[in-house]
């Protein structure tokens, strides 16, 4: 999961006109610059709320950052990012961050 997140985050940063640096993204997202660096280096397992902050700052959906678009086995691959996020939110109820990640990456275990 960390490798996918790091790769997708870097791609989104590279595509963004003003948030292509760790400093710019960290300021916009309201997170520490070192946190962005640690995510990019795959040193942490960020909470869903952190992924949400980064996605919002980059103007993408959280699923853009966590779904491996190259994984043909992913049950979420065929879904649009918006429908995948909607499905997750509808069935999640009061789940915690680990529950979300388990749902998203269950097919890999």
Q: Give tens-digit pLDDT for 25-62.
A: 999 999 999 999 999 999 988 888 889 899 999 998 88
Instruction: Show me where the domains of the chain are located.
Output: 1-109
Average pLDDT over residues 10-24: 93
- Report the half-sphere exposure of 81 (CA within 13 A, side-chain side): 12
Q: State how far the alpha carbon of 67 is from the alpha carbons of 14, 24, 33, 58, 74, in Å.
A: 18, 24, 23, 16, 8
Q: Give tens-digit pLDDT for 54-94.
A: 999 999 888 888 887 665 555 555 556 666 666 656 655 55
User: Helices 33-40 and 2-15: crossing angle, nearest 10°?
Assistant: 120
1-109, what's its fold?
Answer: 434 Repressor (Amino-terminal Domain) (1.10.260)
Angle at 18 between CA 15 and CA 21, to 5 degrees: 80
């Amino acid at each position: 999961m960390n490798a996918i997140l790091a790769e997708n985050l870097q791609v989104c940063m590279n595509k963004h006109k003003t948030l292509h640096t760790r400093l710019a993204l960290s300021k916009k997202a309201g997170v520490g610059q070192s946190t962005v660096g640690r995510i990019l280096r795959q040193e942490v397992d960020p909470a869903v709320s952190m992924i949400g902050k980064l996605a919002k700052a980059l103007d993408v959906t959280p699923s853009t950052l966590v779904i491996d678009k190259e994984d043909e086995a992913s049950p979420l691959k065929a879904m649009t990012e918006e429908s995948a996020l909607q499905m997750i939110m509808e069935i999640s109820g009061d789940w915690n961050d680990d529950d979300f990640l388990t749902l998203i990456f269950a097919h890999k275990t």
